[in-house]
Amino acid sequence: MKTHTLSLQTASSKFVDLTSELERFVSAARDGLLNVFVPHATAGVAVIETGSGSEEDLEQALNRLLPRNQTYVHSHGSPGHGADHVIPAFISPSVTIPVVGGALQLGTWQSVVLVDLNEDNPRRQVHLSFLAN
């Protein structure tokens, strides 16, 4: 199994497109499965269309579903931090993507995005694991 860890700063963006990094990681590979895992209690990984407003739509949907207020039992940190801890129940901390001939098998408009609405911790890691056929 081939592995790699990405270290990211998310302070300037709640959505970080990981697709190009993932493509570089598997480019010399053949066929197999790529697992993308975020080892954080307040972030997740989504496969969405980017650049068309989907990121903003997803953020608004999460804010409607998980209002950023102080009604959460887990209430330390910035306002709404309790909501951050519930996000991984809706946005999974991992995705697995098929790789064929060294190419991610994503749909035409699909990208792999780190979703991180937590303002308290802008330092993130993303673990990549490629399991070849």
Please tell me the predicted confidence (pLDDT) of residue 122: 85
Domains in the chain, CATH or no CATH each:
2-132 (2.60.120.460)
Average pLDDT on 100-115 reads 97
Tell me the C-alpha distance between 74 and 86, whole Å.
10
Please tell me the predicted confidence (pLDDT) of residue 10: 84
pLDDT band for position 12 (cuts 50, 70, 90): confident
As given in the structure block, the two tokens for residue 27 are 């480019």
What is the DSSP code (8-state) at residue 50? Answer: -
pLDDT above 90 for 121: no
Calculate the CA 26 to chain-centre distance.
Answer: 18
Please tell me the predicted confidence (pLDDT) of residue 68: 84
Which residues lie below 8 Å from residue 119, measured CB to CB, with a gap of 6+? 78
